[in-house]
Chains A and B, each alone.
Chain A
């Protein structure tokens, strides 16, 4: 479906005049957030490059900031290289807390980055004083927007349109109609009960897991340690959150 078709379906539910277009746009934007809060999905992936600054540890993430990302949600991985190199090197990201790293690294330690973390909206590198201006490539997830015009579509509207319709209708019931009981019905269609383990959300998570496996094959021993936690699509609610 295009965005316009999704709008028409929601309008037919609330009445063609019942939900003003500007409010419908808000409902669809909030509906998309309701879906994206459930996981880091494939359509939210993006990469951003930036450079370290000598003797500078902190890099703000945001629009027109050091790490120029408009709707940052979550970091996935980070690589670095010297500007003269052609091969990226992986940098450990987010495996330790800031308080631990602050103890490990003296404030005057200098060198190439060894570990990084994202603290709120700041990306920090350790050791705290980069020796040169390394090239950095951050792999991350963004909050995304609905297509800009009615005649456009994206992966959600085109292949999971019901998810966006359900989520916009939930918003309409809760905010416009103030009908919590009505919203419960649509909420179960969107995310099952408990929320996030059924309905359209579960379909999205299963697809998310399949897409992730194409990139990262993880082999888990079938016997021995953790033998009772064999990964399967049926257990998909544990992934992608």
Chain B
């Protein structure tokens, strides 16, 4: 896991991921770059939890939406370099907690 975040169920958080340092031979990522999400049981929840995906230059971003209290979701950002075709993945574990505050 590359990063861990805590989020309250009602929050809508935009998360941008910059692939510049991981794909040095590229200046942009392809339209095929994706964001997917699974829950702690491995069930694919992309359709309900990945609200909006945006691609701009080397940045791939999405909104962390909704989520069920108590669950842990793993988001996988896959950036594909337009020039090199190289792929880099970045994972974020999102723990949805209404009553646990503070930093991860």
Contacts and interface: CB of A to CB of B under 8 A. Distances in A.
Given A17-B4, A149-B40, A4 B93 contact: no
Nearest to A16: B104
Interface in B1-48: 1, 4, 39-41
B-side interface size class: 10 to 19
B72 A4 contact: yes
* Dominant secondary structure at the B interface: loop
Given A16-B4, A17-B4, A21-B93, A151 B70 contact: yes
B87 interface: no
Contacts of A150: 40, 70-72
A144 interface: no
Nearest to A148: B41
A16 B103 CA distance: 9
Given A4-B40, A149-B39, 8 more contacts: A2-B70, A4-B70, A4-B71, A16-B104, A17-B4, A21-B1, A151-B69, A151-B70
Interface of A: 2, 4-5, 7-8, 16-17, 20-22, 148-151
**Which 6 pairs between the two chains have the least Cβ-Cβ distance?**
A4-B70, A149-B41, A148-B41, A16-B104, A150-B70, A151-B70
